[in-house]
Amino acid sequence: MEISVNNVDGVAVAAVPVDELDASNASEFKRDITPVLQANTKLVLDLGRLRFVDSSGLGAMLSCLRQLSAKSGDLKLCGMSKQVRALFELVRMHRIFDIYATQEEAVRAFRH
Amino acid sequence: MTTLSSTPDTVALQESIERHARYSLGKTWSGLSVRDRFNAVALAVRDRMVDGMLATEDRFKRSDSKRVYYLSIEYLIGQSLGNNLLNLGIREACREALSNLGTDLDDLEESEPDAALGNGGLGRLAACFLDSLATLGMPGYGYGINYEYGLFKQEIDDGYQREKPDNWLAQSTPWEIPRPDEACLIPVYGRIEDSVDRRGLYNPMWMDWKILIGIPYDMLIPGYGGHTVNYLRLYSARSSHDFDMGIFNDGDYFKAVEQKIASETISKVLYPSDAVVAGQELRLLQEYFLVACTLRDIIRRFELDHTSYADFSAKVAIQMNDTHPALSVAELMRILVDEKDVEWEAAWQTTQATLAFTNHTLMPEALEKWPAELLGRVLPRHLQIIYEINRRFLDQVRISFPGDAERAQRLSIIEESAPKQVRMANLAIVGSHSINGVSAIHSELVKTVLAPDFFKLWPGRFNQKTNGVTQRRWLLKANPPLANLITSAVGDDWITDLNRLRELEKYATDAGFQAAFQKVKQFNKEKLASVIEDAIYLKVDPNSLFDVQVKRIHAYKRQLLNVMHIVDQYLSLIEDGHQPAVPRTYIFSGKAAPGYWLAKQIIKLVHNVARVVNNDSKANPWIKVAFIPDYRVSLAEKIIPAADLSEQISTAGTEASGTGNMKLALNGAVTIGTLDGANIEILEEVGAENMFIFGLQPSEVQTLRQQKTYRPRDHYARSPRSKRVVDSFSSNLFSPHEPDLFKWIFTSLLDPNDEHVHVADFVPYIEAQRQVADTFGDRAQWSRMAILNIARVGKFSSDRAVTEYAREIWGVRDASLPSPVGAFAGSGETGQSNPSAVLTRA
């Protein structure tokens, strides 16, 4: 999948380019996000398009967070729909990720 | 076409029916099948209920009312059209509208398939409670599963029960409103990964789960008078995708479809009662699916108007109907702690203050336990939470009972057996502020036999709520002639206040009223005789005593004891030439769980005895035996009004309450029964002189069992009549073509381990039956007893039961009722436009 990346004030901002991130495409996502993770330490993932995520999708995002954490970076999430947010809460992943409503807020949070 | 005499109600209804025929079904009225006509009428009625539901919701929202959520794995609803029309007060208007269209309302009502989402008493109680909640104007909602297949249809083949699937949703039902926009996601399976959160605190993450989707369907529940319309929300399981396209693309189409089917199986079928469910993963998934969907919906609704979970238990009451929804304890804790960041102690206080538990059985085999391994595999986070609840609870137990390790083991939610088990009743008790039994004796046995350690720990949490039945369904709808007779005598207030039936007492000896009552009963008996003839091609005499035992077939309910009486009467007649005092028709109906061999054998026995007796010309002027197949709510509505005698003969100490006993007494049947369940309270109400009580008391049965002092052979040797009946099962009298078919009955009756002590109760039973026959011969005396039964069973209304739950458990006051909703509500209709007309209809 094609993941476009913008650089905003030294923070990489990428959008998850699918409506559903699940067992059918989580591996593809992990593969295609890898160069972004290698090239950056501060990443904002915009989930605005995402309508459904399953445990494979959440696992893929967790993998991103761990890769960045390993090199003292961080991953912040933004743009979650209510339904996706509910799933994060359901499995306690909202406590692992830093979650913001908008890209701007997420980028700003890296400055503090 | 509209007649000149049509009322505005009739005209509007007729227009609505025709509009639905045209625009919902796409057909003209004349081209509709019976099914289509039913659908058009149901949709027209549903429109009115939707208006009522929206107005009701607005009322509750404005007053920020505390809401009651009733969780039950079963709802035995039966047919809805007639009940909804009566409660909305538009049955006669609908009858007239349909008459104008050349259709008979009775035919359409009769054509409606029963919604059989339950096995028996537990599910029917839930349905009665919903009717009462709405009638009382309370914000009370049922939550359950939208089973695609309800309880099986029973067919009889050579006396053997055959089960046929009941695909009641095959043609969909007009009563359900789908709510896909309120679907919820439910994770199951997976594992817990221990991690720390961003603040460095322990954070168990639920990983690798699979997801189920719960789609709600609402059935609207109008209260009598139409003031309040609540709903029953039933969930269907759907897979997260039509099927997994990834697997499909890889070429494994069947695996993809299998996964979809597995997800949807959750709401596919209702488990029959008495089925061995322990260890059955699908049942556990069903129970969690119900709990998770319900709680997610409760939370969604709560958050619409509230921000602080400190207010939760002030705004939400959850009643767990038996242990099936007991996972609510762990699920509510999980939501509060994991999702809402509530501290454990505060979450626990909220959980206990919100949840309440009704126990329905003392049978050890019916007390649910789940292997910890299975629960941990299906719900890994919940098992963690249950362990933590148990750890904290046992710390408290050790403080209350220092050094008493055995008591701690008995109280523990976890049974340290091999394999380790999670005791769902213990979980429900620990997590609830109220634990109730369903009759006086049952509540006492809960405290002394089922959970004495818990009672010692928390005596204030235990209470009694005797079951009840809704008089709208079981008298007003089921028995219009009797309803009209009562109304003509004492007015119609009894429809919403059953205690008003007391005013009938003064008519008990009134010759005119007795004659009218006898006429009603005869009318109902003739109708039932016709049902029997249609169903099993057996002619029965409506002048004979209709002796009725209708309920699930189960050893403890002792249909066998009833059969033993038939055999005794038959052999006394054939061998001794003793004619009974009155001719009698023994009427049975009920289903056996598909895997319950003994119960299915009892059905076979009834049929074989019937075959012998009914074909013996010497016997059949005096004795007939009828087994009416496929017992269900709509059939009960035909049998119960016609009963003279109500058989409530369970082994003392085994029936939690029973509600058939209440329905039958309400319809003027006199009870022959043991001191068991609610029979004891019926006795207190109607008086010993108006019932036939016999047999051992609960404590005596318990003593026989505990001290192993039951000696059936002594009874057998002492009583020639007992001996003859018991011996008949070892001969092939009732199984000439299947030798030794019933020999097991001979053996089990003489077994000192017969838990149901049939032989000990047999002689007292046939003596009580002799008194029944003698009394029935005196029609005035019998009528007096029957009328007093009706007059004195006001206590057994589900309105009374629900009011007690509301006041003493839920903390919900009777809502003040606004004006009736909708143009047609509250017309004071009592089922028939002309009360006296029905009496002459026969």
Chain B residue numbers touching A58 (CB-CB < 8 A): 207
Residues B305 and B110: their CA atoms lie apart, in Å, by: 43
B258 band by pLDDT with thresholds 50, 70 and 90: low
User: Of A90-94, B74-78, B274-278, B344-348, which range is least confident?
Assistant: B274-278
- Rounded mean pLDDT, B404-414: 97
- Rounded mean pLDDT, B649-672: 97
Q: Which two tokens stand for residue B583?
A: 């001719």
Residues B314 and B336: their CA atoms lie apart, in Å, by: 15
B167 band by pLDDT with thresholds 50, 70 and 90: confident
What pLDDT is recorded for position B835?
Answer: 29
Residue B831 scores a pLDDT above 60: no
Residues B353 and B312: their CA atoms lie apart, in Å, by: 9
Sheet holding B421-423, edge to edge: B369-371, B421-423, B414-415
Residues B10 and B6: their CA atoms lie apart, in Å, by: 6
Looking at B525-684, which runs of residues are DSSP E strands? 545-550, 584-589, 623-627, 645-648, 670-673
Catalytic-residue membership of B611: no
B776 band by pLDDT with thresholds 50, 70 and 90: very high
Peptide bond before residue B419 is cis, with ω within 30 degrees of 0: yes
Nearest CB neighbour to A24, from listed B185, B244, B381:
B244
- The alpha-carbon gap from A26 to the nearest alpha carbon of chain B, in Å, equals 11
Kindly report the number of other CB atoms within 10 A of residue A85's CB atom: 14
Taking CB atoms and an 8 Å limit, are A91 and B244 in contact across chains? no
Catalytic-residue membership of B663: yes
What pLDDT is recorded for position B265?
Answer: 85
What pLDDT is recorded for position B476?
Answer: 98
B826 band by pLDDT with thresholds 50, 70 and 90: very low
- Rounded mean pLDDT, B780-786: 98
Q: Are B666 and B471 in contact (CB under 8 A)?
A: yes
Q: Which two tokens stand for residue B768?
A: 């009580």
Residue length of chain A: 112
Distance of CA B101 to the CA centre of its chain: 36
Nearest CB neighbour to B205, from listed A24, A25, A93:
A93
User: Of B43-52, B251-260, B274-283, B650-659, which range is least confident?
Assistant: B251-260
Q: Secondary structure of B590-628 in the HEC alphabet?
A: CCCCCCCHHHHHHHHHHHHHHHHHHCCCCCCCCEEEEEC
3-class DSSP assignment, residue B317: strand
B366 band by pLDDT with thresholds 50, 70 and 90: confident
Query: What pTM did the predictor assign?
Result: 0.93
The residues on B that touch A, with CB distances below 8 Å, are 185, 187, 190, 195, 197-199, 201, 203-211, 240-241, 244-247, 249, 338-339, 381
Among B339, B384, B385, the residue to mutate for chain A (most A Cβ within 10 A): B339
What pLDDT is recorded for position B827?
Answer: 36
The sign of the torsion formed by the CA atoms of B138, B139, B143, B146 equals positive
Taking CB atoms and an 8 Å limit, are A90 and B205 in contact across chains? no
Taking CB atoms and an 8 Å limit, are A24 and B185 in contact across chains? no
Catalytic-residue membership of B659: yes
Looking at every residue in chain B, the average pLDDT score rounds to 92
B4 band by pLDDT with thresholds 50, 70 and 90: very low
| Structural domains of chain A sorted by starting position, each given as residue range(s) with its CATH number in brackets | 5-111 (3.30.750.24)
What pLDDT is recorded for position A56?
Answer: 94
Catalytic residue among B663, B715, B758, B784: B663
Residue pLDDT, tens place only, B527-548: 999 999 999 999 999 999 999 9
Residue pLDDT, tens place only, B85-96: 999 999 999 999
Closest C-alpha to B509, from B780, B790, B290? B780
Q: Which two tokens stand for residue B344?
A: 């454990």
Assign domain B471-709+757-795 to a CATH class: alpha beta
Q: Which two tokens stand for residue B822?
A: 């909708």
β-pairing, B67-71 vs B75-78, is: unpaired
B31 band by pLDDT with thresholds 50, 70 and 90: confident
Distances in Å between the alpha carbon of B482 and those of B40, B84, B519, B594, B664?
A: 30, 20, 10, 36, 13
Residue pLDDT, tens place only, A14-67: 999 999 999 999 999 999 999 999 999 999 999 999 999 999 999 999 999 999
User: Of B267-276, B353-362, B481-490, B781-790, which range is least confident?
Assistant: B267-276
Chain A residue numbers touching B381 (CB-CB < 8 A): 91
Residues B593 and B232: their CA atoms lie apart, in Å, by: 26
- The domain spans of chain B are 1-63+80-113, 64-79+114-464, 471-709+757-795
Taking CB atoms and an 8 Å limit, are A86 and B208 in contact across chains? no
Residue pLDDT, tens place only, B339-365: 999 999 999 999 999 999 999 988 777
What pLDDT is recorded for position B821?
Answer: 42
Residue B437 scores a pLDDT above 80: yes
Q: Which DSSP symbol is given to B169? A: T
Taking CB atoms and an 8 Å limit, are B339 and A89 in contact across chains? yes
Radius of gyration of chain A (CA): 13
Residues B272 and B749: their CA atoms lie apart, in Å, by: 27
Residue pLDDT, tens place only, B559-609: 999 999 999 999 999 999 999 999 999 999 999 999 899 999 999 999 999
Interface confidence (ipTM) of the complex: 0.92
What pLDDT is recorded for position B819?
Answer: 45
Kindly report the number of other CB atoms within 10 A of residue B529's CB atom: 21
Residues B357 and B528: their CA atoms lie apart, in Å, by: 39
What pLDDT is recorded for position B261?
Answer: 59
B19 band by pLDDT with thresholds 50, 70 and 90: very high
Q: Are B633 and B76 in contact (CB under 8 A)?
A: yes
Q: Which DSSP symbol is given to B505? A: G
Task: Check CB contact of A91 with chain B, cutoff 8 Å.
Answer: yes
What pLDDT is recorded for position A1?
Answer: 87
What pLDDT is recorded for position B823?
Answer: 35
Residue pLDDT, tens place only, B604-643: 999 999 999 999 999 999 999 999 999 999 999 999 999 9
CATH code given to domain B64-79+114-464: 3.40.50.2000
Residue B557 scores a pLDDT above 50: yes
User: Of B136-145, B246-255, B493-502, which range is least confident?
Assistant: B246-255
Q: Are A39 and A70 in contact (CB under 8 A)?
A: no
Residues A20 and B681: their CA atoms lie apart, in Å, by: 59
B523 band by pLDDT with thresholds 50, 70 and 90: very high
Residues B649 and B344: their CA atoms lie apart, in Å, by: 48
Distances in Å between the alpha carbon of B727 and those of A70, B392, B440, B619?
A: 83, 58, 38, 20
Closest C-alpha to A61, from A14, A29, A13? A29
